[in-house]
Amino acid sequence: MQSDSLVIVPTYNESHNIERVIDRLMVLDNKVDVLVIDDGSPDGTADHVRNAIEKYPDRVHLIEREGKLGLGTAYVRGFKFALKHGYTYVCEMDADFSHDPDDVDRLIEEVRSGNTDVAVGSRYSNGISIINWPLSRLILSYGANIYARTITGLPIFDTTAGFKCIHRKVLEEISIDRIRSNGYAFQIEIHFRAWKAGFRLKEVSIVFREREEGVSKMSKAIVREAIWRVWSLKFSSIFGTL
């Protein structure tokens, strides 16, 4: 029987991590299905996902794309898959163990219990809960969140959080085809659109750890997109074109 919960995991060169992540998700108290969206990883990430599909038939799914098309478009593709296949609770999660798979249970339960419509795995709601980041990156991330929160008015501390659970009614309401952000600004846009549509956002404190294997996907282009995108969202909201 299909689970009512789907965890979407975008990947690019995560062959060292993806099978281990899936193994951890398969034994959670809340039964979840997993959808991996791989952007043509040259390291064979998709082959590792196919191994997992053999181990967990009907619970692990794979969408392969031909190249690096971006985080935002990957999640939108995943959201459409979730809606089409009847999932109620839709989670976002990284493949690199910076997000603890065990915390997925906590996020789902916050939404399932009716406490919130979007449960945000937050690095900043209870002080700073980040392990092994260099000071320069911590300052950049913390400053970016203050910047985004100040401009948009979002009622959460971790506006760029990429670890969350979303009720399907949110995705049905916010017109996911209108989402234009593709880097970490995508996370700000999801939170902003949900909040402006009247849905509840609640932060759930998590411990974020620097990735165990592989290379960070952060780039200057991603930072630049986030800087201008918050203003675009703000003005779109003011003029009713969001």
- CA–CA gap between residue 195 and residue 118 (Å, rounded): 9
Provide the pLDDT for residue 5.
98
Burial 149-165 (b: 16+ CB within 10 A, else e): bebbebebbbbbbbbbb
Mean residue pLDDT of the chain comes to: 93
Q: 14: pLDDT confidence band, cut at 50, 70 and 90?
A: very high
Query: Which tens digit of pLDDT belongs to each residue from 71-88?
Result: 999 999 999 999 999 999
* Radius of gyration of the chain from its Cα atoms, rounded to whole angstroms: 17
Q: 234: pLDDT confidence band, cut at 50, 70 and 90?
A: confident
3-state secondary structure the chain: CCCCEEEEEEECCCCCCHHHHHHHHHCCCCCCEEEEEECCCCCCHHHHHHHHHHHCCCCEEEEECCCCCCHHHHHHHHHHHHHHCCCCEEEECCCCCCCCCCHHHHHHHHHHCCCCCEEEEECCCCCCCEECCCHHHHHHHHHHHHHHHHHHCCCCCCCCCCCEEEEHHHHHHCCHHHCCCCCCHHHHHHHHHHHHCCCCEEEEECCEECCCCCCCCCCHHHHHHHHHHHHHHHHHHHCCCC
Query: Which tens digit of pLDDT belongs to each residue from 125-167?
Result: 999 999 999 999 899 899 989 999 999 999 999 999 999 999 9
Please check whether residue 202 is in contact with residue 116, taking contact to mean a CB–CB distance below 8 angstroms: yes
Query: Which tens digit of pLDDT belongs to each residue from 161-220?
Result: 999 999 999 999 998 999 988 878 999 999 999 999 999 999 999 999 986 655 555 556
Mean pLDDT throughout 102-106?
98
Provide the pLDDT for residue 210.
86
More confident residue, 62 or 226: 62
Looking at the predicted structure, is the pLDDT value of residue 223 above 70? no
Mean pLDDT throughout 8-30?
97
Provide the pLDDT for residue 228.
77
Looking at the predicted structure, is the pLDDT value of residue 3 above 60? yes
